[in-house]
Amino acid sequence: MTNRTLQIGVVQFACSDSAEENISTASRLIRDAASKGAKIILVQELFSGLYFCQEQNPDHFKRAYSVTDDPAVAALSALAGELGVAIPISFFEKAGQVFYNTVAMADADGSILGIYRKSHIPDGPGYNEKYYFRSGDTGFRVWDTAHGRVGVGICWDQWFPEGARAMALLGAEVILYPTAIGSEPGQPAFDSSRHWQRTQQGHAAANMTPVAAANRIGSETVGDKVQSYYGSSFIAGPDGALVAEAGRDGEAVLTASFDRDTLARDRATWGLFRDRRPDLYGLISTADGRQS
């Protein structure tokens, strides 16, 4: 009989510049989450190493692998099969002559169901991703895992309601965002953590779909750059309320469970998808937000 409970886990930790060490830490925390009942477990963005996008340095392209060769994808997909859980695995992808910020979706048997390439690529101080990553070409993806239908965006994607709505329209029962976010260079007093959370809580409420985000913690030095990450990983329920939240510091394992039938019934009852007016939304797909 199909499990009708959506059992979500989120892990949070500080990254070193050792892929072996980070994969070991992620694996330990994933095991902890699984022992607490989690069946779909989220790890933070680009967790294999430091967040190298603080600087523009061509040496960092050496960090990229194909999906079949990436050590984190290999290790965590094997772990997914061992534990019988689903894990979206964030990695720096080399695809021929281009590079992407990518998630590989591992199912509970260890197989890779497919990949999602980050759609929205930021470009600003401390977050120089356009130097490394091409804009994703997969479109938004949702996968039928053994434990539920899962949509995954990546970090900057989480600020765009259109992406969350697209995944909801594709039938996502939960939307997950692996993340690397923290301090803003040149703005030491600026803290976006609550804004960051509220934006995604809005996606959960507007789509009546649980949303979870995993962020890293600690300070990282890359070249002559130093950046701190504010953790605050969370799971939000279908009404947008936080049901689990990590601190700004320290490793964390979060879990939450939702009844899939109740989620589906409530989405239907509220009529948010019934009453959509896509005939009025054409300006959303224009470059300058103006109607022709």
Report, as residue numbers or ranges, the catalytic residues.
45, 118, 155
- DSSP string of 191-217? --HHHHHHHHHHHHHHHT--EEEE--E
* CA 250/CA 80 separation, integer angstroms: 24
* CA 192/CA 26 separation, integer angstroms: 25
Angle at 138 between CA 171 and CA 91, to 5 degrees: 100
Contact 146, 170 (CB under 8 A): no
Nearest to 127 by CA among 154, 156, 89, 162: 156
Q: Which helix (H) or strand (E) holds 11?
A: strand 5-12
Q: What is the largest CA-CA distance in the chain?
A: 55
Nearest to 40 by CA among 89, 86, 72: 86
Q: Amino acid identity, residue 196?
A: W
Contact 153, 179 (CB under 8 A): no
Question: What is the token pair recorded at 198?
Answer: 């509220």
* CA 253/CA 107 separation, integer angstroms: 20
CA torsion through residues 218, 209, 203, 174, sign? positive
Angle at 169 between CA 5 and CA 193, to 5 degrees: 75
